[in-house]
């Protein structure tokens, strides 16, 4: 029986035939395996007292984590898909009916200093505010004219690939981004404290100009990482209960009570909910252990066929995966196929002229894959919420679907203390009657 190995996302083989391939694949296996093991170990530490917090919450201990590694146990049911939409839901909520405003917001690069190596050395890095594990760039020119490129590739892969074969990374940039890319364009001038560790000057820069201002190769938004995907999948295996003792099964209540990921995204609540339900389906008397299926990755699944030209004719062959494939797409390009004289100027999305990659993102379905196994784990307890969700004062709690939520870092802090309302008060107190005697109705449920 062959020894198990974690493979690169989408089973992409960028180093085929190169002497660096073996070492890279071994390193990638170790990296993903370590991330998963750390999350399993962390589940066993949840709720244990922290000396720095004398009143640390201790009711969240997970004695038998349901998250597992395929390096330790083979999966029995693989390829369980979890879907979401690529258009950032938090931006959709924030802009409401102002669709063009949301497109402009998403197409504008931002910058921050969160990867600065220390307090004295501040380093600004650019990123795209596209936070559903899918990012895009509109190239104004190219062999076929303008094109829009979409990526779902986690940055960790490129940092590791560059460590083992920087020459190949340069070649891939020249193939997929621009033939004008030079090696020095892709290197750091100062160190960064990144998700993969400290990046030294002269090593690969995940925020290089060809991955931000001039193009796109992989994800840049701080939450769009493979590590984040693994973390939220692991933490989503913890069962939660509301104040009445009932299991929490609503996706936003679940993510808000556990504090994994971002409750305002489309991706994170969906991922967490589906992992939680697959591990312990409603009514189950025994749980399934669950993990992210090998190869661990974030993918574009497919695109809704609502792209047409200005005459309403479907655009066949315009959206093509160039890294990965349908179901496990890593990079896709929207451009005219060979021989087609039309350009992006002729493209319509639901009948509207194409002016932003965000319009196309709204048609893209994203996916990741989970896997389960019956490892004989006991039924886990249902723990109390450890985070709170807050909304603006006066928000209609019966219609939170279109509202972005604030999350407090510690359950002991109340929303009232920061001049906000509880989004889901029933998680922490028994809901009052909908109509109190002599008073107005009190709404506590999310429609």
Structure tokens at 326: 């349908």
Per residue in 14-29, pLDDT tens?
999 999 999 999 999 9
Looking at the predicted structure, is the pLDDT value of residue 35 above 50?
yes
The pLDDT, as a whole number, for residue 62 is 78
Per residue in 152-197, pLDDT tens?
999 999 999 999 999 999 999 999 999 999 999 999 999 999 999 9
Looking at the predicted structure, is the pLDDT value of residue 143 above 90?
no
Average pLDDT, the chain: 92
Beta-bridge mates of residue 149 = 137, 333
Looking at the predicted structure, is the pLDDT value of residue 12 above 60?
yes
- For range 327-351, the mean pLDDT: 97
SS3 content of the chain, % helix, strand, coil (to 5): 25, 20, 55
The pLDDT, as a whole number, for residue 1 is 57
What pTM does this model have? 0.92
Banded model confidence at residue 144, pLDDT cuts 50, 70, 90: confident
Per residue in 118-132, pLDDT tens?
988 899 999 999 999
Q: At what angle do helices 166-176 and 155-164 cross, to 10 degrees?
A: 130
The pLDDT, as a whole number, for residue 225 is 98
Banded model confidence at residue 380, pLDDT cuts 50, 70, 90: very high
The pLDDT, as a whole number, for residue 447 is 30
Assess whether the previous peptide bond of 295 is cis (omega < 30° from 0): yes
Banded model confidence at residue 413, pLDDT cuts 50, 70, 90: confident
DSSP secondary structure letter of residue 187? B
């Amino acid at each position: 029986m062959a020894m198990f190995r974690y493979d690169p996302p989408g089973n992409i083989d960028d180093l085929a035939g190169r002497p660096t391939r073996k070492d890279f694949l071994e390193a990638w296996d170790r990296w993903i395996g370590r991330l998963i093991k750390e999350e399993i170990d962390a589940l066993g530490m949840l709720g244990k007292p922290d000396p720095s917090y004398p009143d640390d919450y201790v009711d969240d201990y997970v004695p038998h984590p349901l998250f597992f590694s395929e390096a330790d146990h083979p999966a029995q049911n693989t390829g369980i898909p979890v879907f979401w939409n690529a258009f950032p839901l938090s931006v959709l909520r924030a802009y409401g009916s102002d669709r063009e405003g949301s497109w402009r917001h998403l197409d504008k690069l931002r910058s921050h200093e969160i990867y600065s190596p220390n307090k004295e050395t501040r380093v600004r890095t650019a990123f795209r505010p596209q936070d559903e594990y899918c990012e895009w760039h509109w190239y104004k020119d190219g062999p076929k004219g303008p094109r829009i490129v979409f990526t779902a590739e986690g940055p960790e892969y490129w940092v590791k690939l560059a460590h083992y074969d920087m020459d190949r990374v340069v070649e891939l940039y020249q193939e997929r981004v621009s033939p004008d890319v030079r090696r020095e364009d892709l290197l750091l001038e100062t160190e960064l404290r990144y998700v993969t560790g400290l990046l030294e000057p002269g090593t690969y820069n995940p925020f290089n100009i060809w991955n931000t201002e001039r193009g796109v190769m992989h994800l840049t938004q701080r939450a769009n990482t493979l590590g984040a995907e693994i973390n939220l999948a692991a933490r989503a295996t913890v069962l939660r209960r509301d104040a009445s003792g009932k299991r929490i099964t609503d996706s936003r209540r679940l993510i808000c009570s556990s504090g994994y990921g971002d409750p305002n995204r489309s991706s994170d609540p969906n991922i967490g909910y589906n992992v939680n339900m697959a591990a312990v389906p409603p009514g189950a008397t025994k749980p399934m252990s669950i993990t992210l299926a090998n190869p661990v990755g974030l993918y574009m699944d497919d695109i809704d066929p609502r792209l047409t030209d200005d005459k309403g004719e479907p655009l066949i062959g315009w959206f093509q995966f160039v890294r990965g494939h349908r179901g496990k797409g890593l990079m896709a390009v929207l451009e005219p196929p060979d021989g087609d004289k039309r350009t992006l100027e002729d493209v319509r999305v639901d009948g509207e002229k194409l002016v932003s990659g965000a319009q196309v993102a709204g048609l893209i379905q994203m996916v990741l894959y989970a896997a389960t196994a019956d490892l004989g784990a006991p039924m886990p307890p249902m723990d109390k919420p450890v985070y709170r969700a807050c909304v603006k004062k006066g928000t209609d709690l019966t219609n939170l679907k279109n509202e972005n939520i604030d999350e407090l870092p510690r359950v002991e802090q109340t929303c009232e203390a920061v001049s906000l309302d509880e989004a889901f008060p029933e998680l922490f107190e028994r809901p009052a009657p909908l109509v109190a005697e002599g008073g107005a109705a009190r709404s506590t449920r999310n429609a």
